[in-house]
Amino acid sequence: MRKIAVLTSGGDAPGMNAAIRAVVRTAIYHGMEVVGILRGYSGLMQEEMMPMTLGSVADIIQRGGTILYTARCEAFKQPEGQARGLEVLRKHGIEGLVVIGGDGSFRGAQALHKLGMPTIGIPGTIDNDIPCCDVTIGFDTAVNTAIEAIDKIRDTATSHDRTYVVEVMGRHAGDIAMYVGLAGGAESVLIPEAPYDLDEVIRKLERGVARGKKHSIIIVAEGAASGIEIGKYLAEHTGFEVRVTVLGHIQRGGAPTARDRVLASQLGAAAVELLRDNVSGKMVGTRNGVVQAVDFDTVFTTPRQPDMRLYDLANILSI
C-alpha cells in the first residue's frame, strides 16, 4: 500500500490528535504517503484534504479536539454519498482509510470496505459505548475532567451543607457516571443501564443526614435523566437545599491524559500496520490490554456490556 488517508468523524474526543499523529508517523515510517481528510465524511465528499508530513503532526499529542476537524454527515448514510466518497479516494490514489470515531463512523467505514476500499476503525469517543474493546480513546480524559470538577463542587457542597446533583455525559452509556461516581465518592449514581428509585435516593440522603452528614453528591448520566429534573424532585421531596450542575461539553475538551495518549498511539500505529497487511473492515482496540482487530460486523452485533460490578461497588461504598 503506497498511500492512505485518515479522518475523524462524529463527536470529538481527547486523544484523537495523538491517534492521527500515530497514523501519520507509522505510515511515513513504512514508506507510505498520508493524506488528512478534513471534517469527516462531509470533507471526504467535498475533497477537503491535505497532505500530512512528519511536521504536520508535531506538537499535537497533548492537544484536545482534532486538528482534522470532525463532522456529522447525513448524506454519507446514503449509497450515493458513499459512492462519491469512494470516487474521491480513488481519484487521489488513496488505497486505504483509517476512520477515528464512534460506531456511526464505523458504519461509514464498513460501507467503504464493502465497496472495495480497505478501511480500519479506531474507537474514539468519550462515552466508552463501543463493544469489543476495553475502552475508547477519550474516556479516561473525560472521567478525569469530570472528577476534577466534582472535587471542586464537593468543596462548596461541604462549606454550604448542600446536596449537589451533577449531570455528566453519556447518552446511552453510564460508564462516565459510574467511574465518576466511584472515583468521586458520590452518594448515588443514576445510569441508563439500571433502573433507579428516587425514593431510595432520598432515603439514602436522609440516612446520611441522620448520622450527621451535611452534604451529598448525586451523579446523573444524561441518558438516565435530566439532572435539573432530578434536582427539582429531590428539593421538593426533602426540603434540602439542592443545587444542580450540568458539566456538559467541558468533558469533551482538554489535554488528553497519558493513558489516552498511549492508547491512541498504540491504536493509530496498529491501524496502519493492519492496512499494510491487507486487513480491512475491522475496528482495532485493546482487549485485556492486548491490541486486537475485530470485524465491524461483530462490533455492530455485540451488545455492549457496562461493567456493572463498578456500579454495585459505587452503591456499596456509599451506603
Site for ligand ATP in 119-148 (CB under 6 A): 125, 127
Of 36, 76, 89, 266, the one binding ligand ATP by CB under 6 A? 76
3-state SS class at 178: helix
- The answer to whether 175 contacts ligand ATP (rule: CB under 6 A) is no
Provide the CA 99 distance to its chain's centre, in angstroms: 14
- The answer to whether 254 contacts ligand ATP (rule: CB under 6 A) is no
The closest of 266, 208, 257 to 62, measured between CA atoms, is 257
CA separation for the pair 278, 280 (Å, rounded) = 6
CA separation for the pair 41, 6 (Å, rounded) = 11
Candidate segments 98-106, 211-219, 268-276, 290-298, binder of ligand ATP by CB under 6 A: 98-106
Task: Kindly provide the residue ranges of all beta strands, DSSP E only, lying in 89-130, ordered along the sequence.
Answer: 96-101, 119-123
The catalytically annotated residue of 127, 140, 175, 260 is: 127
Candidate segments 72-80, 209-217, 282-290, 309-317, binder of ligand ATP by CB under 6 A: 72-80
Least spacing, CB of residue 76 vs ligand ATP, in Å = 4
Least spacing, CB of residue 163 vs ligand ATP, in Å = 31
- The answer to whether 111 contacts ligand ATP (rule: CB under 6 A) is yes
> Could you say which DSSP state residue 125 is in?
-
- Residue identified by cell 498511549 is 262
All residues at 6 or more sequence positions from 243 whose CB lies less than 8 Å from its CB, including other chains: 157, 162, 163, 164, 165, 231
Of 8, 17, 26, 105, the one binding ligand ATP by CB under 6 A? 105
Of 107, 204, 259, 304, the one binding ligand ATP by CB under 6 A? 107
Strand order in the sheet with 163-168: 188-190, 216-221, 163-168, 242-246
- The answer to whether 72 contacts ligand ATP (rule: CB under 6 A) is yes
Give the residue ranges of the annotated binding site for Mg(2+): 103
Residues with catalytic roles: 127
Judged by the rule CB under 6 A, the positions of this chain that interact with ligand ATP are 9-11, 41, 72-73, 76-77, 101-105, 107-108, 111, 125, 127
Give the residue ranges of the annotated binding site for ATP: 11, 72-73, 102-105
